[in-house]
Amino acid sequence: MNNVIMMSPEINKLIEQALREDISAEDITTNAIVNGWERGEVQLIAKEDAILAGLGIFYQVFRFLDPDMIMETKAKDGDSLKRGEIVAVLQGDLRALLSGERTALNFLQRMSGIASFTHEWVQELEGSKTKLLDTRKTTPNMRIFEKYAVKVGGGENHRYNLSDGVLIKDNHIHAAGGVGEAIGHVRRETSFVRRIEVEVESLDMLREALDEKADIIMLDNMTTELMKTAIEMIDGKAITECSGNITKGRLKELSTIGLDFISCGALTHSSGIRDFSLKNLRVIGG
Amino acid sequence: MNNVIMMSPEINKLIEQALREDISAEDITTNAIVNGWERGEVQLIAKEDAILAGLGIFYQVFRFLDPDMIMETKAKDGDSLKRGEIVAVLQGDLRALLSGERTALNFLQRMSGIASFTHEWVQELEGSKTKLLDTRKTTPNMRIFEKYAVKVGGGENHRYNLSDGVLIKDNHIHAAGGVGEAIGHVRRETSFVRRIEVEVESLDMLREALDEKADIIMLDNMTTELMKTAIEMIDGKAITECSGNITKGRLKELSTIGLDFISCGALTHSSGIRDFSLKNLRVIGG
Amino acid sequence: MNNVIMMSPEINKLIEQALREDISAEDITTNAIVNGWERGEVQLIAKEDAILAGLGIFYQVFRFLDPDMIMETKAKDGDSLKRGEIVAVLQGDLRALLSGERTALNFLQRMSGIASFTHEWVQELEGSKTKLLDTRKTTPNMRIFEKYAVKVGGGENHRYNLSDGVLIKDNHIHAAGGVGEAIGHVRRETSFVRRIEVEVESLDMLREALDEKADIIMLDNMTTELMKTAIEMIDGKAITECSGNITKGRLKELSTIGLDFISCGALTHSSGIRDFSLKNLRVIGG
Amino acid sequence: MNNVIMMSPEINKLIEQALREDISAEDITTNAIVNGWERGEVQLIAKEDAILAGLGIFYQVFRFLDPDMIMETKAKDGDSLKRGEIVAVLQGDLRALLSGERTALNFLQRMSGIASFTHEWVQELEGSKTKLLDTRKTTPNMRIFEKYAVKVGGGENHRYNLSDGVLIKDNHIHAAGGVGEAIGHVRRETSFVRRIEVEVESLDMLREALDEKADIIMLDNMTTELMKTAIEMIDGKAITECSGNITKGRLKELSTIGLDFISCGALTHSSGIRDFSLKNLRVIGG
Amino acid sequence: MNNVIMMSPEINKLIEQALREDISAEDITTNAIVNGWERGEVQLIAKEDAILAGLGIFYQVFRFLDPDMIMETKAKDGDSLKRGEIVAVLQGDLRALLSGERTALNFLQRMSGIASFTHEWVQELEGSKTKLLDTRKTTPNMRIFEKYAVKVGGGENHRYNLSDGVLIKDNHIHAAGGVGEAIGHVRRETSFVRRIEVEVESLDMLREALDEKADIIMLDNMTTELMKTAIEMIDGKAITECSGNITKGRLKELSTIGLDFISCGALTHSSGIRDFSLKNLRVIGG
Amino acid sequence: MNNVIMMSPEINKLIEQALREDISAEDITTNAIVNGWERGEVQLIAKEDAILAGLGIFYQVFRFLDPDMIMETKAKDGDSLKRGEIVAVLQGDLRALLSGERTALNFLQRMSGIASFTHEWVQELEGSKTKLLDTRKTTPNMRIFEKYAVKVGGGENHRYNLSDGVLIKDNHIHAAGGVGEAIGHVRRETSFVRRIEVEVESLDMLREALDEKADIIMLDNMTTELMKTAIEMIDGKAITECSGNITKGRLKELSTIGLDFISCGALTHSSGIRDFSLKNLRVIGG
């Protein structure tokens, strides 16, 4: 599996931990039924239409239980799957197939849920320059998987975490005593490789942010009308991002006013899953 | 915070890890703006109606960053919150308030989302003996938080993981060569403290399960009519659970046919979140 | 090695940690003597009669130090070994053979000690329906290995830990205010997949437990006479377990009174070890 | 608790892990019965005569679950306890008292078992210069606790692990090609802070070891007669240790022949436990 | 201690691990000499002139061994210390003072070494707009401490790691097939919050980078003359960084040609340490 | 790679952690440019003369990212490299080559820096019996790598940490109340496998240490003259070590006065690095 996510040294730790969550001692049902090594085969099937995301992670779960597990793939991350489609065939230790099933599907379903949801929203923006962004509103200890799924679905990633991007929010501005003061502190203290983003809630705040040459302006919870005025004021002098109260229904309208980005927490916190299952298990031999 | 979830030695590990996910090095924005210790205060506010779940976890996130953080609570887990309600007030190191915000809210919002969603579904079952159950379709590395939230919302917990409950599913039956064989293996091999549950998809399979004295029968993906017949056949000789294709709209009908339990993955995989925010940050002193 | 214990994602963590306990920096003796890669072979020999348990764990210790280590087995877990018998032959990096020896044997000897001890006790119960159970009186961080060894020796496992089985003990009853109250709380709060077990010390407590329909009754520290009366009172309405002051000498007598289970901490806390050693080390080539 | 073992940064990791072993999700019985914070008190009582070891570890287990737990001690490590004696009184969160009980006792009982067993053996050596030593035959992931208990019981510690002491054993000698070669390698390669110990099985091997000026000679599996001859040959030029087939009955005899040390794996692998329990639980208030 | 570095959830893990590296079992010397709790006091003294960095980390090491350790500080990070100056006074468990000394000093000396070295280099740039930068050439598992020390010394931080900044280096350009191709890929695939930096070794590469609107240009291993030409070509259209073969002697000259930044691995890989010691230990009471 | 350091179970944990430090989420530059699997090759080249140390560690870094990575070596640890020399050729996943480069080089450069520096100092002692020792003044969490590099460079290792060697220092003597008291405590309490070393600062302290039969005497911060007198007094009755204010210039003189060892913290804390780079990256195929 050659997805970029497989190159992160973080994922093995998280997958192993998820397996331990589901198998704190042993899989008592499987171990009662299959007492020794037997070779089995099973199909991964899409139970609803979906954008596939996380097939490499799905496979890696099984490889922790059986390093010799083989997966033949019929599709790859980003592919559009039809309900009933066979996505992959796994061959390996029968017990690993049975014990790894739920954890592997829990990753795949959630990642495909996010990719599919993102894909639907992104289509609303087609034809415009505006792009859809994720946020840090991810599930704890799942961010690397969820941000990857957003990209698979056609969205773009905002900063990964508090350590790798500057975003001055309302509470920072309160703490600093003003937009200008906040930007000043940040410019002095943070690495030049980072663009400085400021969240503004009014045209007054916007004016201050422009005076201080913020690189990115987040227009927070504004009406479409107010955003139009703001974008005119900004006039290309900063990258623009719109945030707050974003619904799918509003995307088309928002795509016409010249925004660079629309960010939306729902991509990762409210997408729901897409259903997959392991079917047609066969025992091949012992 | 006296919730039972706070008594689990697992949670500190997971909370600390979630904080490291969001702060892999340092919070560059906050550290640029607040360079030394200052005391701050902030309010936790419900941005939509919700059943509160996870307030102890929310607090614990901040205590990792500032062991002297104080939280005054206005509500407790299980309470029904109104939009705009102040839920708690935090006082402590201003930097901890700013840096811990997102991680703390990510836990609280998801847990309250599950509790609220569960609460709505449970109300459909009122007046019947039938109870709503969660599944193992939880987010990887979030199970302890998600199963707790289901209980806060009025649902009940199915087995926690593969190590602590027996559930013989279709793939196990294929591997064993039949319902009877599977139950036999499990009865010989697993601890007597566990009830044996079998998933059946037809009346033939049900008959075999009853012959083998399964303790719990899961009626999988059956029509309501077929389930009625099944429940008559079971006639109190086993606990009954219904699973597959459960929607909120079907709950009322299902509550009338004498089922003991209805289990539903959507509680933990598709509930979405409830929105909260930290507002009215004040710097109190240095 | 196809033992079910090898399918637990917990064991690798514990084995690796045990190796680090014994090799906090490097094996200074071995590294002084064998400075580069050389191929070696060594025999695992039983130094006393034993029931073998833990051969897969033994092998896994060496594979952490040399992933290419090969083990040819002459016996498998559960086999009855005679003093002097060759159990297995290992081939691989000479340094791994020398450095892994003690940790591998420490696992194998303790697990075989428990299996052998259990096996001897179980034979006292032959011909009766009564079965021998372990407890949670295991060595910290060794439970998965010790409970597996009990099964290899012919015993059965009680609950694994506090999270996967209900056992209402004297201190719980004090805290709840009575047997009935305790059972009531537990029935309302815990998952239906769990059987409820109560520890009783008198016939009065037993009566209350039966009234509340406890699933399993533990008769704690009772005389054989008193247990007979209790079993008559229970009359098949609950599973029975006897606990406290169990000695090997008492087992025969206890096997005649109709108990379902006898549980005994000594299996895991006082079995002692069975002795094995690595002998006839040969250097094969460099 | 001021025992030296409490100063090791290793112990907290191991205690926390042991608690997670016993509480992989939550203590379902306790949490069903005690739903919120209540203050409780309980007594730690010796159920048989014992040398106390591990009281600080016992206390630390509870402090992980309730950092405000208080322990009033009536005895300290090394004290000789009588059956029925109250050893300590714990006060704190009732749930912590119930949930931590088994893990805390598992440490205390095993450590006191080792200390008591060691104490009995050490008394056989009274009046002689010969001292009793432990070995590396400890339970995996318990060494720090077990070696401490040996010292509490009056024994002495051999090297801690493969990284901190040189012991050239039979397999090393085979690998090196001879006693002399082995000592030569080790002298060149290992730190001067370490004494070099060699295991010899015959007078020929002893002669070689003396020629190479080994600092410590382990007389392995020799008869008492042969050891006498060996000790005369050594004549103070090396420290002497006897090992192999040591029983309590042989200690007196061995104490008369001028050995410096007798090492014995049984101290840590076959001591059994001493029984303690938590009794007289009282709820103090909520 | 209010330094921003203390707000990182990473540091506790690394400090605890460093303590375990130095105390794999117990501090045998200290525990032999101080067998129980005694209160002690000791002074931290600068043994050479230095810029202080890491005092909070130094203190945290001791607090792991004794949570009640108190430190009275006479200086703070960034202060210029004179040889012989008392920097702080520690009071707490005598054993913690003795056992933590080396690990605490190892952090403090290295961090102060980097801060002092950086401070000296930064002074060469005084009066110019050019700033001194660190690199990723840090000691494995020490980056958070080393990058903090660079800032304390007056330097600035380049990106923290591969996940939070884009730097297209020679090997990336080879893999992509050209400067333009590489920038194109990166612009499409990475988050808009990141500035894109390209390393160029010639004016041809520079031209391509400018055509593709790179945000930051790293002039790699160029002569001062060539850099002058490059900076003229860039003419404010990108931030400029110079890298490769930077010596202290070259800094003055480089500060005159209009560079924004000079980056230098020596800051973290070749600074050496500044010497401190713990002196005047006093036992205060038991 | 057959270096002894590769046999330590500690190193994999530290290497994996170093990779996570540098890749907290993903390598955004590399993943943007190389989106799928491609085979690449690159050369490791010495950029200055050096004693090579750490080639196995260097290789292991890449194998974490690509278990199928192949390394053809042209030199081995301890070899003397010339500037420009090709040391090894790596073949494997192109992304692993790019993402692992910096972490792998950070280990190799530091280890080779220490080996090279040690090698130069050791040459000053040629012809004498005096040997060069490292100390515990290592970089936190790098000791195993740094002590190995000292040996590669021709130095010897002092004790590894506080758990495996006795060194009574000035602060211990203050705490014990005198040299004699300190040695007495240690002799009673620590394992007989350890030699007892005492640090003395005057002839009076030396006399006490000799009276108490210390095994090793560290002459701390003495003039060469004073050391001569000390060595005469010691007269072979203890091993001698000199410590404090050691510079390369003093080594020749010190080598003539009969010292057994000279220990020097600079070996590990002030050696600087030797420069290496990965060059001539080629894409071989996809």
Q: What's chain F's average pLDDT?
A: 95
B168, B191, B261: best to mutate for the C interface, most C CBs within 10 A = B191
For position E36, what pLDDT does the model report? 84
Which residues of E are less than 8 Å from D164 in CB distance? 24-25
Contact A194 E197 (CB under 8 A): no
Length of chain F: 286
* Residue F89: closest CA among F40, F139, F140: F40
Instruction: Give the DSSP letter of residue C202.
Output: S
Of the residues B220, B241, B260, B274, which is catalytic? B220
Q: Which two tokens stand for residue E55?
A: 């005092």
Instruction: Give the DSSP letter of residue A174.
Output: H
Contact E164 F24 (CB under 8 A): yes
Minimum Cα–Cα distance from B144: chain D residue: D25
Low-confidence residues in chain C, pLDDT < 70: 1-2, 286
Give the pLDDT mean for D229-240. Answer: 97
Partner-chain residue, chosen from E20, E24, E27, that has the shortest CB–CB distance to D7: E27
Q: What are the φ/ψ torsions at residue A137 (nearest 5 degrees)?
A: -85, 60
Sequence-separated (6 or more) residues with CB below 8 Å from residue F225: none
Which residues of B are less than 8 Å from E2 in CB distance? 36-37
Task: Give F197 to chain C, closest Cα distance, Å.
Answer: 20
Vertex C201 angle, CA C196 and C206, to 5°: 55
Neighbours of D (≥3 Cβ pairs closer than 8 A)?
A: A, B, C, E, F
- Is the per-residue pLDDT at D43 higher than 50? yes
* Euclidean distance between CA atoms E226 and E205, whole angstroms: 13
Instruction: Give the DSSP letter of residue D194.
Output: B
- Is the per-residue pLDDT at D1 higher than 70? no
F102 is catalytic: yes
Give the pLDDT mean for A240-251. Answer: 94
Give the pLDDT mean for F67-72. Answer: 96
Q: What is the pLDDT of residues F96-154, one digit of tens each?
A: 999 999 999 999 999 999 999 999 999 999 999 999 999 999 999 999 999 999 999 99
Contact D7 E95 (CB under 8 A): yes
Task: Give B26 to chain F, closest Cα distance, Å.
Answer: 12
Helix (H, G, I), strand (E, B) or coil at F227: helix
**Amino acid letter for position F45:** I
For position F1, what pLDDT does the model report? 45
Partner-chain residue, chosen from E2, E8, E163, that has the shortest CB–CB distance to B23: E8
Q: What does the domain layout of chain D look like in residue ranges?
A: 3-120+272-285, 122-269
Neighbouring CB atoms inside 10 A of D227's CB total 17
Helix (H, G, I), strand (E, B) or coil at B243: strand
Contact F25 B25 (CB under 8 A): no
For position A2, what pLDDT does the model report? 56
Task: Give B103 to chain A, closest Cα distance, Å.
Answer: 7
Q: Which two tokens stand for residue C131?
A: 């079965």
For chain F, percent of residues with pLDDT exceeding 90:
94
Dihedral angle sign, alpha carbons of residues F103, F104, F107, F108: negative
Residues of chain A that touch chain E, judged by Cβ-Cβ distance less than 8 Å: 156-160, 163-166, 191-195, 197, 216, 239, 260-261
Q: pLDDT-derived band of residue D237, with 50, 70 and 90 as boundaries?
A: very high
* Euclidean distance between CA atoms A203 and A183, whole angstroms: 17
Contact C9 A20 (CB under 8 A): yes
Minimum Cα–Cα distance from B20: chain F residue: F24
How would DSSP label each residue in C100-139?
HHHHHHHHHHHHHHHHHHHHHHHHHTTTSS-EEE--S-PP
- Is the per-residue pLDDT at A286 higher than 70? no
Which residues of B are less than 8 Å from D95 in CB distance? 4, 7
* Euclidean distance between CA atoms E146 and E5, whole angstroms: 11
- Is the per-residue pLDDT at F253 higher than 90? yes
Task: Give E255 to chain B, closest Cα distance, Å.
Answer: 26
Neighbours of E (≥3 Cβ pairs closer than 8 A)?
A: A, B, C, D, F
Partner-chain residue, chosen from D20, D36, D93, that has the shortest CB–CB distance to B10: D20
Vertex D78 angle, CA D195 and F179, to 5°: 45
Q: pLDDT-derived band of residue A178, with 50, 70 and 90 as boundaries?
A: very high
Partner-chain residue, chosen from C16, C20, C31, that has the shortest CB–CB distance to F4: C31
Strand extents, DSSP E, B134-226: 166-168, 196-200, 216-220
Helix (H, G, I), strand (E, B) or coil at D9: helix
Partner-chain residue, chosen from E26, E35, E36, that has the shortest CB–CB distance to D8: E26
Which residues of B are less than 8 Å from F24 in CB distance? 24-25
- Is the per-residue pLDDT at A81 higher than 90? yes
CA atoms within 13 A on the CB side of B34: 27
How would DSSP label each residue in B59-95?
HHHHHHH-TT-EEEES--TTPEEPTT-EEEEEEEEHH
For position A1, what pLDDT does the model report? 45
Count A/C contacts: CB-CB distance under 8 Å.
Answer: 41
Of the residues B169, B187, B228, B250, which is catalytic? B169
* Euclidean distance between CA atoms F47 and F109, whole angstroms: 10
Which residues of F are less than 8 Å from A5 in CB distance? 26
Supply the CATH classification number for the domain F122-269: 3.20.20.70
Mark residue B78 as left, alpha or beta (left: phi above 0; alpha: psi -120 to 50; beta: remaining). Answer: left
Helix (H, G, I), strand (E, B) or coil at B255: coil
Of the residues F220, F241, F260, F274, which is catalytic? F220
- Is the per-residue pLDDT at D138 higher than 50? yes
Q: β-strand F70-73 against F86-93: which pairing, if any?
A: antiparallel
Of the residues B93, B134, B199, B241, which is catalytic? B199
CA distances F273 to A240, E117, F107, Å, are 45, 15, 10
Q: pLDDT-derived band of residue F3, with 50, 70 and 90 as boundaries?
A: confident
- Is the per-residue pLDDT at D2 higher than 90? no
For position C203, what pLDDT does the model report? 97
For position D107, what pLDDT does the model report? 98
Contact F27, E162 (CB under 8 A): yes
Task: Give B68 to chain C, closest Cα distance, Å.
Answer: 31
Dihedral angle sign, alpha carbons of residues E187, E190, E191, E196: negative
For position F71, what pLDDT does the model report? 98
- Is the per-residue pLDDT at D136 higher than 70? yes
For chain A, percent of residues with pLDDT exceeding 70:
99
Contact E25 D160 (CB under 8 A): yes
Q: Crossing angle of helices A9-22/A94-124, nearest 10°?
A: 120
Minimum Cα–Cα distance from C24: chain E residue: E24
B20, B31, B33, B221: best to mutate for the A interface, most A CBs within 10 A = B33
Q: Crossing angle of helices D224-234/D203-211, nearest 10°?
A: 20
For position B200, what pLDDT does the model report? 97
Partner-chain residue, chosen from C158, C163, C191, that has the shortest CB–CB distance to B193: C158
For position D4, what pLDDT does the model report? 83
Contact D172, C29 (CB under 8 A): yes
Q: What is the pLDDT of residues E155-201, one digit of tens each?
A: 999 999 999 999 999 999 999 999 999 999 999 999 999 999 999 99
Give the pLDDT mean for F236-241. Answer: 97
Contact B162 A26 (CB under 8 A): yes
- Is the per-residue pLDDT at B1 higher than 80? no
CA distances B283 to A172, A175, B40, C106, C188, Å, are 11, 6, 4, 58, 46
Q: What are the φ/ψ torsions at residue A42 (nearest 5 degrees)?
A: -150, 150
Low-confidence residues in chain E, pLDDT < 70: 1-2, 286
Which residues of A are less than 8 Å from C163 in CB distance? 24
Residues of chain C that touch chain B, judged by Cβ-Cβ distance less than 8 Å: 156-160, 163-166, 191-195, 197, 216, 239, 260-261
F220 is catalytic: yes
Mark residue B272 as left, alpha or beta (left: phi above 0; alpha: psi -120 to 50; beta: remaining). Answer: left
Contact C194 B193 (CB under 8 A): yes
Partner-chain residue, chosen from E2, E9, E164, that has the shortest CB–CB distance to B64: E9
* Residue D167: closest CA among D132, D209, D222: D209
Instruction: Give the DSSP letter of residue E194.
Output: B
Give the architecture-level CATH label for domain B3-120+272-285.
Alpha-Beta Complex (3.90)
Of the residues F47, F169, F228, F250, which is catalytic? F169
For chain A, percent of residues with pLDDT exceeding 90:
94
D22, D23, D24, D27: best to mutate for the A interface, most A CBs within 10 A = D24
Contact E4, B37 (CB under 8 A): no
Q: pLDDT-derived band of residue B285, with 50, 70 and 90 as boundaries?
A: confident
Contact E7 B19 (CB under 8 A): no
E102 is catalytic: yes
Of the residues D74, D137, D228, D250, which is catalytic? D137
Q: pLDDT-derived band of residue A17, with 50, 70 and 90 as boundaries?
A: very high
Contact D2 E37 (CB under 8 A): yes
Partner-chain residue, chosen from A16, A24, A95, that has the shortest CB–CB distance to C7: A95
